[in-house]
Amino acid sequence: MRRISVFGATGSVGQSALDLVARDAGAYDVVALTGGRNVVQLAKDAQALGADLAVTCYPECYQDLKDLLAGTGIAVAAGPAAVAEAAAREADWALSAIVGAAGLVPGLTALAQGNTLALANKESLVTAGPLLLGEAKAHGATVLPVDSEHSAVFQALVGEDMTAVERVIITASGGAFRDWPVEKLATATLAEASNHPNWDMGQRITIDSASMFNKAMELIETKEFFNVSSDMIEVLVHRESLIHAMVGFNDGALMAHVGPPDMRHAIGYALHWPERRTLPVERLDLAKIGKLTFEAPDAARYPALALATRVMEQGGLSGAAFNAAKERALDGFIAGEIGFLDMSRVVAATLDKMSSQTGVQTADITLDSVLETDRLARIYAGEAFGQLG
Ligand code: NDP
Ligand code: MG
């Protein structure tokens, strides 16, 4: 039986993964499941799948989880260190579907086993791509992309030589505000930003899709994962979200990956890789769909994209500063402290400050330097809230 673990099991990606696992439960020995506040779901899944260990990242949720699993024989633990310990438990395949920079340490810990890590947690690649991939290399571990665009690129590259790749195009739906007048964006509310036109995802990534911070993160993720330069990566607005990415080759061919907007495809591909197995996703009827549309992204509408280009060009710890500032700005928007367009202004101000004062662009990427940059960037981003005109 294949030993598997899922970190962030109670979230949108985590639940899609457990849906696939539950359909063939006899094939898997579930080692560890981790979650956060949703301990009811975590306990239910841990029992249904016979997990050895269930962990909540919040110490204050420990007692509830313990009570829910009393008498089941399933071990229970809580706190960030316990999540990392869960990631240290030997598993053949682990999925990191934690949201935010909190996914970095569990991901690094899992990689040290030298097995396979399926990575939905894009923040860890944006924050510390070279560290994470260096750790994978050092331990002979495999990292598989789960973000739909990156899974699509990965699939388009099977059997190809990277030297023949000219460009990588990742698509974007345009998010909740793609048809809003740009002048109106400043007034966008939390409820309006939390409504994605095509994908059903966690709240944070849905808001990041409206602001295109999600695509900005994915640009950096593409650069890190596939080791391509920033000028080879393009964003294309594609409203239907059916083509997830395209790879352009030196003979002019574009290999496009087309599929329904259902994360179970990318998760399933990573779960069964290098094989393809039957997956419970919709089969597209292209004649019915009729047409697919493409537009260049509007830089004025999506300032996050230019920030990503800046981060890719600056390098060093710029990604760590960018991600942490974005997370703090997003917290501020969710809490009603700042407006929708203020998020990119806060991130820009934080990058300015950290580039000129702390030299993030030239710093070495170690776990300590990443965590310190993350800590400082959150402070500077919070300070920037008060300086918005
Ligand atoms: P969700 O918010 O739905 O789920 C996040 C998961 O992480 C939950 O299990 C949550 O627990 C847990 N969690 C929250 N905070 C922490 C923390 N500090 N430490 C450990 N665990 C924590 O997110 P998504 O599933 O939408 O996204 C997960 C990751 O996958 C993100 O990096 C996202 O960018 C990426 N991704 C998501 C896609 C999607 O379709 N949703 C598509 C492509 C990538 P709980 O809910 O119990 O509190
Ligand atoms: Mg994506």
Does the Cβ of 121 fall within 6 Å of ligand 1?
Answer: yes
pLDDT tens-place string over residues 193-247:
999 989 999 999 999 999 999 999 999 999 999 999 999 999 999 999 999 999 9
Place 338 in a pLDDT band, splitting at 50, 70 and 90.
very high
- Which ligand 1 atom is the nearest neighbour of the CA of 148? 43
CB-CB contact of 127 with 374 (8 Å): yes
- Which ligand 1 atom is the nearest neighbour of the CA of 199? 40
Residue type, 40: V
What is the pLDDT at residue 362? 87
Nearest by Cα to 146 from 44, 12, 256, 24: 12
What is the pLDDT at residue 389? 75
- Give the residue, by CA position, lying nearest to ligand 1 atom 11: 36
pLDDT tens-place string over residues 90-101:
999 999 999 999
CA distances from 116 to 100, 113, 150, 160, 274 (A): 20, 9, 16, 22, 12
Does the Cβ of 135 fall within 6 Å of ligand 1?
Answer: no
Residue 357 has pLDDT above 90, yes or no: no
Residue whose pair of structure tokens reads 């919040």 in the numeric block: 58
- Which ligand 1 atom is the nearest neighbour of the CA of 204? 2
Pocket-testing residue among 7, 13, 64, ligand 1, by greatest number of atoms within 8 A of Cβ:
13
Residue whose pair of structure tokens reads 């779960």 in the numeric block: 271
- Give the residue, by CA position, lying nearest to ligand 1 atom 44: 147
What is the pLDDT at residue 387? 93
Report the separation in Å between the CA atom of 217 and the middle of ligand 1, taken as the mean of its atom positions.
Answer: 15
Does the Cβ of 6 fall within 6 Å of ligand 1?
Answer: no
Give the percent of the chain with pLDDT over 90: 97
Classify domain 315-385 at the CATH class level.
mainly alpha
Residue 363 has pLDDT above 90, yes or no: no
Does the Cβ of 16 fall within 6 Å of ligand 1?
Answer: no
Residue 118 has pLDDT above 80, yes or no: yes
* Mean pLDDT over each residue of the chain, to the nearest integer: 97
Arch. (CATH architecture) of 2-145: 3-Layer(aba) Sandwich (3.40)
Report the separation in Å between the CA atom of 150 and the middle of ligand 1, taken as the mean of its atom positions.
Answer: 17
- Give the residue, by CA position, lying nearest to ligand 1 atom 8: 11
User: From CA 64, how far away is CA 53, in angstroms rounded?
Assistant: 15
User: From CA 197, how far away is CA 201, in angstroms rounded?
Assistant: 11
Pair of tokens at residue 306: 């230019």
User: From CA 218, how far away is CA 233, in angstroms rounded?
Assistant: 10
Does the Cβ of 107 fall within 6 Å of ligand 1?
Answer: no
Place 36 in a pLDDT band, splitting at 50, 70 and 90.
very high
The bound ligand whose nearest atom lies closest to the alpha carbon of 198 is 1
What is the pLDDT at residue 5? 99
Where b means 16+ CB within 10 Å and e means fewer, 179-211 reads: eeeeeebeebeeeebbebbbbebbebbbbbbbb
CB-CB contact of 43 with 33 (8 Å): no
What is the pLDDT at residue 162? 98
Report the separation in Å between the CA atom of 59 and the middle of ligand 2, taken as the mean of its atom positions.
Answer: 30
Does the Cβ of 13 fall within 6 Å of ligand 1?
Answer: yes
Three-class secondary structure assignment of the chain: CEEEEEECCCCHHHHHHHHHHHCCHHHEEEEEEEECCCHHHHHHHHHHHCCCEEEECCHHHHHHHHHHCCCCCCEEEECHHHHHHHHHCCCCEEEECCCCHHHHHHHHHHHCCCCEEEECCHHHHHHHHHHHHHHHHHHCCEEEECCHHHHHHHHHCCCCCHHHEEEEEEEECCCCCCCCCHHHHHHCCHHHHCCCCCCCCCHHHHHHHHHCHHHHHHHHHHHHHHCCCHHHEEEEECCCCCEEEEEEECCCCEEEEECCCCHHHHHHHHHHCCCCCCCCCCCCCHHHHCCCCCECCCCCCCCHHHHHHHHHHHCCCHHHHHHHHHHHHHHHHHCCCCCCCHHHHHHHHHHHHHHHHCCHHHCCCCHHHHHHHHHHHHHHHHHHHCCCC
Pocket-testing residue among 6, 12, 105, ligand 1, by greatest number of atoms within 8 A of Cβ:
12
Rounded mean pLDDT of 159-183? Answer: 97
Report the separation in Å between the CA atom of 203 and the middle of ligand 1, taken as the mean of its atom positions.
Answer: 9
Report the separation in Å between the CA atom of 67 and the middle of ligand 2, taken as the mean of its atom positions.
Answer: 36
- Give the residue, by CA position, lying nearest to ligand 1 atom 41: 201
The partner residues of 57 in beta bridges, in order of sequence, read none
Its pTM stands at 0.97
Residue 345 burial (CB count, 10 A) = 18
Higher per-residue pLDDT: 313 or 357:
313
User: From CA 170, how far away is CA 234, in angstroms rounded?
Assistant: 6
Domain-wise residue ranges, the chain:
2-145, 151-261+283-289, 315-385
